[in-house]
Structure 1
Amino acid sequence: MDGMDRQEEMKAWFSSLKPVRPVEMIGLWRGLGIPSDHPLDGVLENLGWFGKRFHADMRADALLFQWRADRLVAIEPGFLPIRLAIKAAPFGRTRVARTCFSYLQKVLRARGTTASLALQPSGDGATAAMRYDRQPIVDYFRWMNAQELAGMMCIAGDARHYFFQLRTIDAVAATQG
């Protein structure tokens, strides 16, 4: 199966899932990529991606990384041009990239929330979506089960989508290693 076949299969699977209301997403979520033949497969995990946090005011920390065992750091996505990140994806899966990124996290730290959450049209209905403030990216969400969401990251002008899952977690548990 080639990459575009896998992408089409993943889009169909995502569309089959139950929509999410934005208010159901408030809280801290642990993330993990779902392999879909997207260039970013494996990159976020290699760099220490933790997940996302959604606030009651419908704002979000779009990219949370595990800085130390007891500390999450929200990164400003606007510092990392998405098209460059996609081109550099093979490097993003290396140990050198992981080490460099760990040193850059303090510089790349967000000074506030970096995205907004709202109900958006998606396929056969509306579902929660997160629009990045400083990137041409929208993440759509659907329920996989009672504790897990599927996410589909869509970049303006790119037919490929990055898929991931989010699992709701207790914020205290997240900082206890």
Structure 2
Amino acid sequence: MHVRDILTTTPTTTADALDLFDSCAAVEPDFMIGTWRGAELPTDHPLDGFLAASGWWGKQFLDAETVHPLLFPTRDGSALWAMNPTLAFSGLGVAEKAHGVKSMSFATPIAATRLLSQTRRSRARLRTTRYRGTDTATMVYDQLPINDVFHRISDDAVLGAMDLKGSPNPYFFVLRRDDSLRLIGH
């Protein structure tokens, strides 16, 4: 999936992405229940390219207490597996480490580490938080200083703003509902 599959006009700066985010409606946590396929929204953030290079597929929200923030496809593409985000973002100097990832692919190394990085446990929760003056659904990572805040683009798509502690600007992505693949091990 690509961001252009969801947005007809794609912002390219943080200011434009924030304008779009602020113009979209807030969502209730129940709206997020389901499996969502994701794509990055490049705005010249230091993390731009990181998720795409990793082979990231999306997120799954089973209920408010059971969230899988990092889903990846199996090698044959027939199912999904959940990665422990603590391993993906270890040390959380990730913003500094991420420079230059746009041209590098981590998909093969991440797939190769599946046995070590796969998790069956939920690694995030879904709550309502106030962000930029609006109460909206937010995915709160269990062990990382990251909140993914969501605003509604349509009935089946949201714009996400990753609020990463220590980063002056959010990292943006889009999600679209997609229940076509099952999560293995659950």
Matching residue of 2:39? 32
Matching residue of 1:112? 121
Identity %: 32
Conserved? CA contact 1:50–1:66, under 8 Å: yes
Matching residue of 1:21? 28
Shift of 1:54: 0.2
Matching residue of 1:121? 130
The 5 Å alignment of 1:137-176 reads: 137-170=146-179, 173-174=180-181
Q: 1:10 to 1:168 in 2, by over 3 A?
A: same
The 5 Å alignment of 1:92-107 reads: 93-95=103-105, 97-107=106-116
Alpha-carbon displacement from aligned partner over 1:79-116 (angstroms, at most 9, x marks no partner): 23263332332247413x33222211221112300000
TM-score (norm 1): 0.87
Query: For the residues of structure 1 that align with 2:31 and 2:78, how far apart are their CA atoms?
Result: 26
Q: 1:129 to 1:168 in 2, by over 3 A?
A: same
TM-score (norm 2): 0.83
Report the count of equivalent residues.
168
Conserved? CA contact 2:53–2:101, under 8 Å: no
Gaps of at least 5 residues in structure 2 are 1-11
Matching residue of 1:70? 78
Q: Which runs of 4+ in 1 moved over 3 A?
A: none
Q: What letter matches 2:139 in structure 1?
A: M
Alpha-carbon displacement from aligned partner over 1:36-76 (angstroms, at most 9, x marks no partner): 11122122112111100001244210111112311211111
Q: What letter matches 1:43 in structure 2?
A: F
Q: What letter matches 1:116 in structure 2?
A: R
The answer to which of 40-49 and 110-119 deviates more is 40-49
SS in 2 for 1:129: strand
Query: Cα RMSD between the aligned structures?
Result: 1.8
Shift of 1:8: 2.2
SS in 1 for 2:143: coil
1:41 to 40, 48, 62: 48
